[in-house]
Structure 1
Amino acid sequence: MKMHFYVAILLLALSLSIVTIASAQETEGVLDEQLGRVSFVNSCTPAVQVTFERAVALLHSFWWQESEKTFREILERDPNCAIATWGIATTLIGNPFATGPTTTQAQQAKEAIGHGLTIGAKTERERLFIEAVAQYYENFTERSHGARIKSLSDAFENVARRFPEDDESQIFSAIYLRATQDPAEKTFASALKAAAILEIQFKKYPDHPGVAHYLIHSYDYPPIAGKGLNAAKRYSEIAPSAPHALHMPSHIFTRVGSWEESIASNLRSESVAKAEKEFTDQLHAMDYLVYAYLQLARDKDAQRVVGGAPGVRGNEKVQITPYALAAIPARYAIERNEWKEAAQLRVQETRFPYTAALTHFARALGAARSGDAVAAERDVQELARIVEAMKLTNDTYWAVEVEVQRLGGAAWVAFAQGNREQSLTLMRAAADLEDTNEKAAVSPGRLVPARELLGDMLFESDRPGEALVEYEQSQRHDPNRYRTLYGAGQAAALTSNRVKARHYFSSLMEMVNSGDSRPEIEKIRRYLMED
């Protein structure tokens, strides 16, 4: 018995030394990489364990290409590692909050899943992981991405229920549940249910990249964004090597109007994404970056981003790329009230009509507010055409978003034509419709909130009291926006509400203390010097 015991100890020590040597070999070249800590139990050979956990960590930080490459490498080194095929198929889905894979990627995923089933999973848990991701690809061409995500979520909920002690099952179940959250459902039931699962995991694994990441997504709504601040502050320190991990905290910072923190987050993300040649991630960070710069009146910094964006070659097949390329110059014009500049923006060809709609909306606003109602009407008609196209493809979310833009553009056309009551009716309809939806994760925010535009229109219609109400409502949803604070201060001043006027103007001046000069700043200074 004693001899058997010593033999067992010797064999264990030998196996550990093999894993250690393999780990050193595997991590050569990525010694400085920091992706957080992941523990994913699997039946693959000891020699690929470190690489497998790296692949899962990459997956949790949405580093799709690197993760897929790593899972494929694992399968080459251990041809019997069936669970690696789950990883390949999962990375090919891409961002669950985006539009889903192409038909080519779906075919590659199905081939990987088929290969995994042929190899045969060594455990029930691994088999269920593979079968769960297969649910996403069932009847691929006949279902929307949203419907497929719902199937994936349901499948992983079953895996999590079958293995309640397996934390990775719980974590993946939570992110897919969060991805089913309807943007028009204002109790955020699915998101909060996912957050409850993840908060438990965060206490157990404070350095897990997926847990912090998915908590940010779960709290990415105005009424509950404050709950995500802890995860936002932690995530970039957990996985600083991942471009998305450096960017993702700015989702929460944007929601609460913490512009300096958002800028710091996205500067780091942009730099790492550029170094890693993840150009789509770079553009995503740049869109959030220019949005934050403009709220602080850091116009020269924003201009540098605007000038650099066209030279960044992101993946045009992923919505982030055309969205950022359309949104960045449009934001730069609108936030500075440069209406003629907005009217002259060029529409870029794209496979995502709602990104072209951004430019048409900016052009319509710019032309109408420059007094050219005829030119503005042409862009409004293009928006109407895009709405109908979205309806034909059952893209309900973006159909609503573009309809808000169409209504807003039509409102300002009517305003330019002198039809004040009609313009206010249309603008109010736009604001009410926008309130039914939440912004998409692809964007830091709409080009300009519809309710903020309603405030502008009421103010310009000599109805400052009503304008103040709309600005304040907009401020509650999109806090610390430069245009909203200035509009609220102006409206309050004209209603002789000096307390509110000083509050909004002082808040704005404190926010932009290191910003560039804008015409409004001098007006505010003069007002605050009175008394």
Structure 2
Amino acid sequence: MRIILLAGVAIGACMVGPAAVADATADRAARDLIERPQVCGPAGPTETGAPVASMVMVDGFGTGGFAVDTASPEAQAWFNHGVRLRWAFEHSESVRAFRKARLIDPTCGMCAWGEAWAMGPNLNGGGNDPEVQEQALSTAREARRLARDATPMQRQMIDALVQRYSGAKGSRSRRFAQGMDRIARQNPADVTVAAITADAWMMNADEWWDDEGKAADPGITRAMNILEQALAQAPDDPGAIHLYIHLTEWSDDPHKAIPYGERLAALAPGASHLVHMPSHTFYRVGRYRDAMMSNVNAVALDLRYDGLADPPGGVPGMPLHGHNIHFGMGGALMAGGGDEGLKLAEWFLATYPDIPARNVWRQVVSNNAYAVYGRFGTPEQVAALKEPPVSHPMLRISWRYARGEAAARAGDAAAVRAEAEAIKLLRGDAAFDAGPMAEERRDFTELSQRVLEGRAAMIEGNADAAIAAFKRAAEIQAKGEEGGDPPAIWYPTRRSLAAALLMKGDAAAARDKIQELLEDWPGDPYSYFVLAEAERALGNMDAAAEALRLSRVEWIGGAMDLKLA
């Protein structure tokens, strides 16, 4: 897996659950996110003290589950629902569902297995607390004691799960993956076993792909083989599709997941996260409008689930709700989807109004909400944005950035430059370096400043100054990967550099820069617009017409302007 500078997989939703990162653990938590970023939003606690008996079974979570050692149809139904919730990354709700199955049938060993499985490590980084793992081990051992009527394969699954929580910590995930792999090889037609095994190998690998998109760990190669074999047998299995989208996203061929992603929402129409999941593929391959709409729908489903099931913490407490909003805003920014983007941005700021001062992640990811206002908001909407408090410098920078982008749309170079200078002053404050993620915050802040400096220079017709500003912004952004899961820096700053080069009169360099960045940001409509202008300047009218056509494939906004590229 790639480690991405200020990217969505590490920050993207980066709501870090509903609670702030405690001061004592902020540095460690931030470091963990950088070293082992989550694949889909923030880690949420998989242990829950929420009521179980009153839990409601919401429909639309697709298929999943298998016959277990219970004579109770109701317990079996709740077990199956727990499996479906687990593959929908509703980890806490999955734990509750398995507990409800156990409440109905206390003798069900596999129901205890399900609870222990759902409590444990997951691809979003949850389930790793020692206290949770101790409780999961106790529950897995209880499952072993109860499972007299389970099948031989299911007892093997329980034994493998015990390995996940016991013995040397450094080998637990590997031993669990190996144990499940033996079961998978003995039962190649079992899609559930295949998905659990692939999931285990994915969690065991420190890195999934190298810079060329080739597998960087043998377990990833094995996971890919397992999932492709499973999908050949069961192409409509939501859990296998979910994992396959994640696994292929940063591989050398993310397009392989397109046919699966295109039907996943229909397979689990009530599962917010599964409706969201295709956007990982869509954004990666340049289908920004589809990425936006997948998340507009996912946000609506979160509200529906809250109304039907009344989960603990409500909508703000849903660990992946912020991820859905952020991803939708990212798609809107790239596609020019101002109407939907502004709705999402308004909802984001209303849902998370009191971001803790120490929660740097949530402050950084809020940038997309402010960027939406800057790129699409009316002057009245931008003026109505409340200035964040001094205690939240990252939010203040994003607020300044929004005002600067809005001023750039109005052609007011002086106002744009004033916002850039204000950001520079914030960055120069000695107190700014205090706290976690100092380097990341400095990079994010300088990049925001340079973009606005470049915008002002473009309005003024100062190509040299614009090139210098955008070149520095691109250098900062190049510290990590671009494209894919929406980054906090919402667009490829190289396209602004290309526009500045074009203003300078170097159309060939502008064309080369756009062709280079389209490898990371395929389908970017604004980049194709810049490319069309470069080809026109070079006298390549057919190429210009084709680039202009491509610029309209994903763009649903208004007229494009090189000064705003």
In structure 1, distance between residues paired with 2:162 and 2:397: 39
Equivalent residue, structure 2, for 1:390: 437
Paired residue for 2:558, among 517, 520, 523?
517
The 5 Å alignment of 1:26-175 reads 30=57, 33-40=59-66, 42-47=68-73, 48-93=75-120, 96-97=123-124, 99-101=125-127, 103=129, 107-118=131-142, 120-121=144-145, 122=147, 124-134=155-165, 151-152=172-173, 155-166=176-187, 167=190, 168-175=192-199
Q: Does 1:449 align with 2:492?
A: yes
273-282 vs 210-219, which deviates more? 273-282
Equivalent residue, structure 2, for 1:241: 270
Structure 1, unaligned stretches of length 5 or more? 1-25, 140-147, 392-398, 525-531
Equivalent residue, structure 2, for 1:433: 479
474-483 vs 45-54, which deviates more? 45-54
TM-score, normalization by structure 2: 0.68
Tell me the CA shift for residue 206 of structure 1: 2.6
CA contact under 8 A between 1:255 and 1:478: conserved in structure 2? yes
The 5 Å alignment of 1:307-456 reads 307-312=346-351, 325-334=366-375, 359=398, 362=401, 370-372=416-418, 373-381=420-428, 389-390=436-437, 405=444, 408-409=447-448, 411-412=450-451, 423=469, 426-434=472-480, 437=481, 441=485, 443=486, 446-456=489-499
223-232 vs 35-44, which deviates more? 35-44
The RMSD of aligned alpha carbons is 4.6
* Number of residues of Structure 1 aligned to a counterpart in Structure 2: 467
Deviations 1:466-500 (A, max 9, x none): 22212222222212223322222233333333333
CA contact under 8 A between 1:455 and 1:487: conserved in structure 2? yes
Equivalent residue, structure 2, for 1:218: 247
- Helix, strand or coil for the counterpart of 2:523? coil
Percentage of pairs with the same residue: 17
In structure 2, distance between residues paired with 1:171 and 1:381: 50
Amino acid at match of 1:152: S
In structure 2, distance between residues paired with 1:445 and 1:224: 24
- Helix, strand or coil for the counterpart of 1:182? coil
The 5 Å alignment of 1:264-275 reads 264-275=293-304
Q: Which has the higher contact order (CA 8 A, sep 6+)?
A: 2
Deviations 1:230-257 (A, max 9, x none): 1102211221121111111111112222
Amino acid at match of 1:62: F
Amino acid at match of 1:377: K
Q: Give the structure with higher Rg (CA).
A: 1
The change in CA–CA distance for 1:42 and 1:101 in structure 2 (over 3 A counts) is: same
In structure 1, distance between residues paired with 2:527 and 2:386: 24
In structure 2, distance between residues paired with 1:182 and 1:347: 37
Amino acid at match of 1:52: F
Equivalent residue, structure 1, for 2:207: 182
CA contact under 8 A between 1:71 and 1:88: conserved in structure 2? yes
CA contact under 8 A between 2:525 and 2:550: conserved in structure 1? no
* Higher share in helix: 1
Paired residue for 2:508, among 465, 470, 479?
465
473-482 vs 159-168, which deviates more? 159-168
Structure 2, unaligned stretches of length 5 or more? 1-52, 148-153, 307-313, 458-463
TM-score, normalization by structure 1: 0.72
The change in CA–CA distance for 1:316 and 1:432 in structure 2 (over 3 A counts) is: closer
